[in-house]
Amino acid sequence: MTLLFEDVTKRFGALVAIDKVSIAFEPGLIYSIIGPNGAGKSTLINMCAGSYRVSEGRIRLDGVELQALEKYQIAQHGIARTYQNIRLFDGMTVLQNLEVCLFPELFGRTLAEVFLPGAARRMKDERTERCLLVLARFGLAALADEMAADLSYGNQKLLEIARATVLAPKVLMLDEPAAGLNHGETDRLKEKLRELARPDLTMIIVEHDMSLVMALSDHIVVLHQGRLLFEGTPAEVQANLAVQEAYLGSPGEVDGIREAARSRANRVRIRADADIERRRPAAL
Ligand SMILES: Nc1ncnc2c1ncn2[C@@H]1O[C@H](COP(=O)(O)OP(=O)(O)O)[C@@H](O)[C@H]1O
Ligand SMILES: [Mg+2]
């Protein structure tokens, strides 16, 4: 079920945050959206999730025009997301943070809860079971009864992603999942995200951590000043000069990207001239 952005534009007053962007996101693949701050990455996610209205263009999933729907309807169509800033229910336990996602299912069952307490208990047990399974997948089952606010930052980020997967979404959009994580936490996140990949899931990750982007992505979309600058495989993105100038501009960033590329050397070829550049100081 392809997620299609068709000539999508978003304006905030005179500012064009997204300028006629068209992209197709296919199921079964992991996409990363990269680009400098202010490029429009979060805006793209926010429009898809219904948090921002689309100014022009269409966003379609399976023939349904998402830009015409309300946020809750978009969620019902199987689109889940996390936020750039963690948004958990601090006053609830880890488990309750997941169970609350299943709340809409409770509505139709109120009568059963009243007249068939046995059945109601079974349904509640089922819900809990389902959420515990998700927590286990993220290595958080042992923390189920902790308050969400008491978790480490890394675990809070994982919990947010776990919560987004409870309803088995078709599209999962993660806005800077590795931001603020240390190396160990980033590695763990990488592993969990890789495990999440399914043939029927489209994963879209907005991320600055190039080691994560290069290691996980099947396809990378580069945004610059609201425009689609380039898209391609990790290797193609690295080899593209326009991308290097616009995004990988500073030597520090370029070095970071090369390091990331080295760590998956079999899948990504590093440009030979870039390597020579890098060796030069040592040779002097
Ligand atoms: N709610 C908003 N109101 C006004 N301007 C916004 C809003 N959200 C984003 N912008 C602007 O749109 C541009 C893109 O922002 P954003 O999508 O957050 O970038 P990114 O996530 O790539 O850093 C920026 O210039 C930002 O200031
Ligand atoms: Mg952002």
Do the Cβ atoms of 172 and 30 come closer than 8 Å? Answer: no
Q: Is 40 in the pocket of ligand 1 (CB under 6 A)?
A: yes
Q: Say if 137 falls within a structural domain.
A: yes
Do the Cβ atoms of 274 and 260 come closer than 8 Å? Answer: no
Between 202 and 239, whose confidence is greater? Answer: 202
CA of 226, closest atom in ligand 1: 14
Average pLDDT over residues 230-243: 85
Q: Tally the domains of the chain.
A: 1
Residue 251 pLDDT: 52
Angle between helices 251-262 and 272-283 (to 10 degrees): 110
Residue 269 pLDDT: 34
Residue 120 pLDDT: 72
> Dihedral through CA 147, CA 153, CA 154, CA 157, nearest 10?
70
Q: Is 78 in the pocket of ligand 1 (CB under 6 A)?
A: no
Q: What pLDDT digit, counting tens, does each position of 40-69 carry?
A: 999 999 999 999 999 999 999 998 999 999
Amino acid identity at 35: G
Q: Say if 220 falls within a structural domain.
A: no
Q: Say if 35 falls within a structural domain.
A: no
Query: Distance between CA 173 and CA 47 in Å, rounded?
Result: 12
Sheet containing strand 64-65, strands side by side: 15-25, 3-12, 56-61, 64-65
Query: Distance between CA 219 and CA 235 in Å, rounded?
Result: 10
259 Cα–ligand 2 center, Å: 24
The closest of 137, 258, 256 to 193, measured between CA atoms, is 137
Model confidence, pTM: 0.84
Q: Which of 5, 9, 11, 12 to mutate to test the pocket of ligand 1 (most atoms within 8 A of CB)?
A: 12
Residue 247 clears pLDDT 50, i.e. is over it:
yes
264 Cα–ligand 1 center, Å: 32
Q: Say if 115 falls within a structural domain.
A: yes
Q: Is 46 in the pocket of ligand 1 (CB under 6 A)?
A: no
Average pLDDT, the chain: 85
Residue 279 pLDDT: 37
Q: Say if 241 falls within a structural domain.
A: no
Amino acid identity at 78: G
Residue 140, φ and ψ in degrees, nearest 5: -115, 5
Q: Say if 38 falls within a structural domain.
A: no
Q: Say if 2 falls within a structural domain.
A: no
Q: In this structure, are strands 3-12 and 15-25 parallel, antiparallel, or unpaired?
A: antiparallel
Q: Is 43 in the pocket of ligand 1 (CB under 6 A)?
A: yes
44 Cα–ligand 2 center, Å: 9
Q: Is 39 in the pocket of ligand 1 (CB under 6 A)?
A: yes
Q: Say if 101 falls within a structural domain.
A: yes
Residue 151: give the domain boundaries. Answer: 89-167
201 Cα–ligand 2 center, Å: 22
Query: Distance between CA 202 and CA 174 in Å, rounded?
Result: 11
Residue 127 pLDDT: 87
Q: Write the burial class of residue 179 (CB in 10 Å: 0-12 exposed, 13-18 middle, 19+ buried).
A: middle
